[in-house]
Amino acid sequence: MDRWRRSAFLLCQDWHTADDVVSATVAKLYRNWRRAGQADNRDAYAQRVLTRAWLDERRRPWKRREQASATLPDVAAAVPETVTDRAGLAALLRSLAPKQRAVLVLRYYLDCSVEETARILGVSTGTVKSQSARGLANLRTVITGQS
């Protein structure tokens, strides 16, 4: 569950939404356990369900009306940072289109192959390669500040 939650957070950039996506994933896996249980690679199957649940979440009309707030009403206890610039990484990922973000998270954070990523997202391997190249190019542009 922790791995699912972390990968969902990298996709959506919000812990609450990540929890919702993981919950939707668990519900979908439960409903379709016969098919999930027969999968060759259950982890890849679950990641595919999670990624598609996030993409479905992004398409919902109510999501366009809600705006996340950077300030919280209560201050939580300090959590030790394992990444030196977590906010910077989050901002970089938010600058990408959803499909590019999904491809980069699957390929470089979860270390999926091109073929696994294509299977998870339901696209061709060429699409994964082009989205990876475009996503990395967009990140370079944002980092260097060049157009």
Give yes or no for a contact between 13 and 94, defined as CB atoms under 8 angstroms apart.
Answer: yes
Residue that the structure tokens 């990140």 belong to = 139
Give yes or no for a contact between 121 and 128, defined as CB atoms under 8 angstroms apart.
Answer: yes
Residue 132 has pLDDT above 90, yes or no: yes
What digits encode the pLDDT tens for the residues 79-92?
444 546 677 778 88
Claim: this prediction has a pTM higher than 0.75: no
Residue 102 amino acid letter: A
Q: At what angle do helices 42-59 and 15-31 cross, to 10 degrees?
A: 120
Helix H, strand E, coil C: the string for the chain is: CHHHHHHHHHHHCCHHHHHHHHHHHHHHHHHCHHHHHCCCCHHHHHHHHHHHHHHHHHHCHHHHHCCCCCCCCCCCCCCCCCCCCHHHHHHHHHCCCHHHHHHHHHHHHCCCCHHHHHHHHCCCHHHHHHHHHHHHHHHHHHHHCCC
What digits encode the pLDDT tens for the residues 5-49?
988 898 888 888 888 889 989 888 888 888 877 778 888 888 888
- Going along the chain from its start, the domains and CATH numbers come out as 1-63 (1.10.1740), 83-146 (1.10.10.10)
Per cent of the chain over pLDDT 90 is 18
